[in-house]
Amino acid sequence: MPRFKSALFAACLLALPATAFAGDPGLDAFMAIFKAHPPQPVAAPDIKAIPLSNTGSPDTTQWEIMEGYRTARNVTQPALYPVLPATGTANGTAVIIAPGGAFLTLAFDTEGMEVAKYLAARGITCFVLTYRVDQTPRDIDGLAAAIANRVGKAPAKMTHGDIPAASEAPALADGLAAMTYVRSHAADYGIDAKKIGFMGFSAGGMETMNVATRYDAATRPDFIGVIYGAMHDVLPPADAPPAFIAVAADDPLLGYASVPIFDAWREAGKSAELHIYAHGGHGFGMRKVGTSAEHWIDDYYNWLIAEHLTTVR
């Protein structure tokens, strides 16, 4: 698949909500690609999930594979998938990772497991969060229609979050529940209860910003990572955590949404680091996109070290 088509595909389906706007022929191109390369059913990950709620059921989650990467949709029971450092290598830092996907699906591998593997190899205990998303028809045509509906409503040059509260509220509750679980089980995993971070991508980045502005003492993240995300027009809390923010300048959807996060944190006197890569589009995650955006994970890790949030293994 040509690179521009691959990027369009990834951005439309794996991140919030798409690269195409209403009336843009890019939407028609995406729908043609989607139908020509539909997601295929795949088995659930071979990792024992940690349920965060008694509501819903893991049986509703629809696992699929696209472009060689797993996604999840129709999640009704939130869960954490732990990815642990090798025995004897954990350094006490932990990160909860929220994949993106327009609150319709979750890019479980490219914005979850692949990130977790990188960090776990460096001593960081990780938990990939499958939070509740809007339900979509189980058939491919129904899914395509749901995506097209959300794509068509995506505003251009979005600077702040613009997703219905009905979509965000369950995800926020799941994010806070994830913080509660990891902090309350810190001793079980050899985690420093004061070094638990939260990071997310696109819709997961919005999830991260919701957690980072609506926590209490028990659920406050000690640091956050926002990768091509957005926030609502709210002031940072008085004890807002340090923030790492990354985006591609040519991101056609959320390319304008990261700077307001940085500015809000800076104006409040809070620690923030912003990386804007010239090229990478939307939804690059851990994909090989052939630009400097591929190295955001290295920049994130170096930031953790510089901020004394983790130690070099």
Strand partners, 62: 73
Residue 128 falls within a domain, yes or no? yes
Q: Kindly state whether residue 209 falls inside one of the protein's structural domains.
A: yes
Asked if residue 311 is part of any domain, the answer here is: no
Q: How far apart are CA 277 and CA 247, in angstroms?
A: 6
pLDDT of residue 2: 33
pLDDT > 80? residue 217 = yes
The answer on pLDDT for 222 being more than 80 is yes
Q: What pLDDT is stored for residue 168 in this prediction?
A: 87
User: What would the two tokens of residue 138 be?
Assistant: 């189980």
Give percent of the chain above pLDDT 70: 86
| Model pLDDT, residue 139 | 87
Report the phi/psi class of residue 92: left, alpha or beta, with left for phi > 0 and alpha for psi in -120 to 50: left
Confidence of residue 292 (pLDDT cuts 50, 70, 90): very high
Query: Can you tell me the mean pLDDT for 196-213?
Result: 96
d(CA 178, CA 96): 7
Q: What is the CATH number of the domain that holds 22?
A: 3.40.50.1820
Q: What is the pLDDT of residues 87-142, one digit of tens each?
A: 999 999 999 999 998 899 999 999 999 999 999 999 999 999 999 999 999 888 88
Residue 35 pLDDT grade (very low, low, confident, very high; cuts 50, 70, 90): confident
Number of domains in the chain: 1
Burial 271-304 (b: 16+ CB within 10 A, else e): ebbbbbbeebbbbbbbbebeeebbebbebbbebb
236 falls within a domain: yes
Within a domain: residue 228? Answer: yes
Pair 304, 241: CB distance under 8 Å? no
User: What local confidence, expressed as pLDDT, does residue 283 receive?
Assistant: 87
| Separation of alpha carbons 51 and 181, rounded Å | 10
Whole-number pLDDT of residue 10:
41
Q: Can you give the pLDDT at residue 1?
A: 30
The answer to whether residue 313 sits within a structural domain is no
Domain of residue 37, residue span? 3-306
Q: What pLDDT is attached to residue 295?
A: 95
The DSSP-derived string for 194-253 is: T-EEEEEETHHHHHHHHHTTS--TTT--SEEEEES----S-PPPTTPPPEEEEEETT-TT
Number of H helices, E strands in the chain: 9, 12
pLDDT confidence of 58, banded at 50, 70, 90?
very high
